[in-house]
C-alpha cells in the first residue's frame, strides 16, 4: 500500500487544535477534522484509489495507477526574512524525511536581503529586482524551467503559516489521479491567522461580467456541517497564490504571469490557462487578513490590474465601462477623505489607458516607488494621541447611522474629528467632519486624513 498522508497531531498555530482533533471525554478523534479528514468524494471521482486504511498514525491507500510527481515549490519574498526562513526551513526538514514524491524548493528574493546560509543546501535562492509577486513568482517559474523534469509547481507566499500535512496531502493526491485528470490544479484554502479555525476562501470564480466570488467565506471549520459544505465542488476558475499547485506543462508551454506586480495576477493567470481546479479539506495555509497590508499602492494595483483583467477576460468590456468603474471608485475614496487613495486609483486608471505594451515594458520597481509615495503613514494609538490630542478607543468607533438618519442629512451635526474602522466604514461617517482617524483595530494603529494645523494640511 502507498502512504497518502500522515495524521497531523501537533497544531502549527495557537488556537487551531480543533482543526486537528476532537476530544470526546477522554478519547481523541482525528477523523472528522479539517486537516486529518479523508476527502472520500473527490478520491472517488478524481483518483484510481481502490482501498483506504488508517494505521500507525498514517492513511494508506491502494491505487490502480501511481503517477510520478516532481514538484517545484516556489516562494516569493520581499524583506520578510523571519517568515521565509521559518517556512522554508520547516518544509525542507519535513520533506527530507517524509515525502513520497520528488521536489525542489526555490526562493525568489525580491528584497535581496537573504543569503544561502539562511537555508539548507538543497534550497535554490535567487536574487531578483523588486518586481512584486507576479515578477518574483515568474522568475522562480523560469528558474524551474531551466532545471526541468518537474510535473507540477506550487506557488506560496512568504508570510503564511503552513502545516506539512497540507503539501503532503496535496501532492500525494496527485500521485493517484486518473489519467484524464493529470492536468488538475489544486487551490489551497486561506485561513485567518488571527482566527485560525475560520476560512477566508477556498478557491473562487471570476465571471465574464467582472464579478468575483470566493467560496467558503468565513466558514468555521470546526463544525462538521461546514467541513462537508467545504468539500463540495464549486465552479472554481482561480486560486490564490498564497498556496496554489498547477501542472508544470503550463511553464513548458511558455505561460507566465503578466507583470501586474500585485493584485489579480493569480486570477488572470488561471483564467488564461483555463485550469481545472479543485480544493481539498486539509490543504490550506494561515495568512494575515489583507486589510492589514492595505494602502494607496494597493488601491492603484486594484484599479489598474482589475481593468486589465476585465479587458482581457470580460465580455463586452470597453472604455466606457472602465471609466464608470474608475469614477465610482475615486468618488468613494474622496467621500472618505482618502485623497491619496483617490489619487492612486486615478493613476491606476491612467496607466491602464496606456495599454498592455506599456505594462510589459515599464520599470515595475521604479513605478512601485512612485505609487508608494502616496501611502499613508500608520501610527500607533499612542502616537496618534501624542500628535493629534485624541486617542482611538476600540469598540467606540463612530458607527454608521441607520437608514432613517441617512434620509435626513440636515440633522447631521458638524464634528471636529471622527474615529472610523478603516475597513468597515461608510462615506456618510465622514460628512461634516474636520479630520478622520482611520483605525486598524487588529494592530492598534491608524492614519489621519484632512487634519489642519497651523494652516498646514497633513494629508
- Judged by DSSP in three states, 392 sits in coil
Helix (H) or strand (E) segment spanning residue 379: strand 379-380
Residues 210 and 201: their CA atoms lie apart, in Å, by 18
Q: Which residues pair with 310 in a beta bridge?
A: none
Question: Which range, 52-56, 324-328, 436-440, has the best average confidence (pLDDT)?
Answer: 324-328
Phi, psi of 230 (to 5 degrees): -70, -20
pLDDT digits (tens, 9 = 90+) for 327-379: 999 999 999 999 999 999 999 999 999 999 999 999 999 999 999 999 999 99
Q: Which residues pair with 246 in a beta bridge?
A: 153
Task: Dihedral sign for Cα 333, 336, 341, 342, please.
Answer: positive
Q: Give the pTM.
A: 0.92
- Judged by DSSP in three states, 435 sits in strand
- Judged by DSSP in three states, 108 sits in strand
Name the pLDDT band for 219 (thresholds 50, 70, 90).
Answer: very high
pLDDT digits (tens, 9 = 90+) for 280-314: 999 999 998 876 678 999 999 999 999 999 999 99
Q: How far apart, in Å, are the Cα atoms of 206 and each of 202, 203, 213, 292, 352? A: 14, 10, 6, 24, 20
Which cell numbers in the block locate residue 248?
Answer: 508544470
pLDDT at 456: 41
Amino acid at each position: 500500500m502507498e502512504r497518502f498522508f500522515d495524521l497531523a497531531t501537533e497544531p502549527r498555530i495557537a488556537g487551531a487544535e480543533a482543526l486537528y482533533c476532537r476530544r470526546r471525554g477522554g478519547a481523541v478523534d482525528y477523523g472528522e477534522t479539517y486537516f486529518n479528514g479523508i476527502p472520500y468524494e473527490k478520491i472517488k471521482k478524481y483518483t484510481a484509489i481502490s482501498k483506504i486504511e488508517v494505521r500507525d498514525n498514517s492513511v494508506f491507500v491502494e491505487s490502480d495507477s501511481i503517477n510520478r510527481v516532481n514538484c517545484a515549490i516556489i516562494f516569493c519574498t520581499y524583506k520578510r526574512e523571519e517568515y521565509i526562513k521559518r517556512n522554508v526551513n520547516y518544509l525542507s526538514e519535513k520533506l527530507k524525511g517524509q515525502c513520497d514524491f520528488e521536489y525542489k524548493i526555490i526562493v525568489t528574493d525580491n528584497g535581496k536581503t537573504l543569503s544561502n546560509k539562511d537555508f539548507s543546501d538543497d534550497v535554490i535562492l535567487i536574487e531578483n529586482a523588486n518586481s512584486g509577486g507576479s515578477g518574483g513568482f515568474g522568475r522562480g517559474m523560469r528558474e524551474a524551467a531551466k532545471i526541468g523534469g518537474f510535473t507540477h509547481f506550487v506557488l506560496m507566499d512568504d508570510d503564511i503559516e503552513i502545516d506539512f500535512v497540507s503539501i503532503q496531502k496535496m501532492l500525494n493526491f496527485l500521485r493517484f489521479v486518473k489519467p484524464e485528470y493529470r492536468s488538475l490544479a489544486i487551490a489551497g484554502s486561506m485561513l485567518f491567522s488571527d482566527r485560525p479555525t475560520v476560512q477566508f476562501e477556498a478557491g473562487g470564480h471570476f465571471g465574464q461580467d467582472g464579478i468575483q466570488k470566493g467560496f467558503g467565506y468565513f466558514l468555521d471549520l470546526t463544525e462538521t456541517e461546514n467541513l462537508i459544505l467545504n468539500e463540495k465542488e464549486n465552479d472554481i476558475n482561480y486560486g490564490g497564490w498564497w498556496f496554489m499547485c498547477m501542472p508544470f506543462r503550463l511553464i513548458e508551454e511558455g505561460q507566465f504571469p503578466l507583470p501586474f506586480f500585485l493584485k489579480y495576477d493569480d486570477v488572470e493567470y488561471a483564467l488564461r490557462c483555463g485550469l481545472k481546479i479543485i480544493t481539498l479539506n486539509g490543504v490550506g495555509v494561515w495568512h494575515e487578513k489583507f486589510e492589514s497590508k492595505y494602502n494607496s499602492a494597493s488601491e492603484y494595483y486594484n484599479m489598474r490590474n482589475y481593468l486589465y483583467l476585465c479587458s482581457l477576460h470580460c465580455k463586452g468590456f470597453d472604455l466606457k465601462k472602465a471609466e464608470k468603474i474608475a469614477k465610482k471608485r475615486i468618488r468613494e475614496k474622496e467621500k472618505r477623505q482618502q485623497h491619496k487613495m483617490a489619487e492612486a486609483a486615478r493613476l491606476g486608471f491612467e496607466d491602464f489607458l496606456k495599454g498592455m505594451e506599456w505594462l510589459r515594458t515599464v520599470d515595475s520597481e521604479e513605478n512601485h516607488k512612485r505609487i508608494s509615495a502616496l501611502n499613508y503613514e500608520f501610527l500607533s494609538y499612542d502616537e496618534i494621541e501624542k500628535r493629534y490630542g485624541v486617542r482611538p478607543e476600540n469598540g467606540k468607533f463612530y458607527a454608521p447611522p441607520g437608514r432613517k438618519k441617512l434620509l435626513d442629512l440636515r440633522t447631521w451635526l458638524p464634528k471636529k474629528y471622527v474615529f472610523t474602522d478603516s475597513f468597515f466604514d461608510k462615506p456618510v461617517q465622514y460628512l461634516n467632519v474636520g479630520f478622520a482617524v482611520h483605525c486598524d483595530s487588529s494592530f492598534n494603529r491608524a492614519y489621519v486624513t484632512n487634519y489642519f494645523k497651523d494652516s498646514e494640511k497633513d494629508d
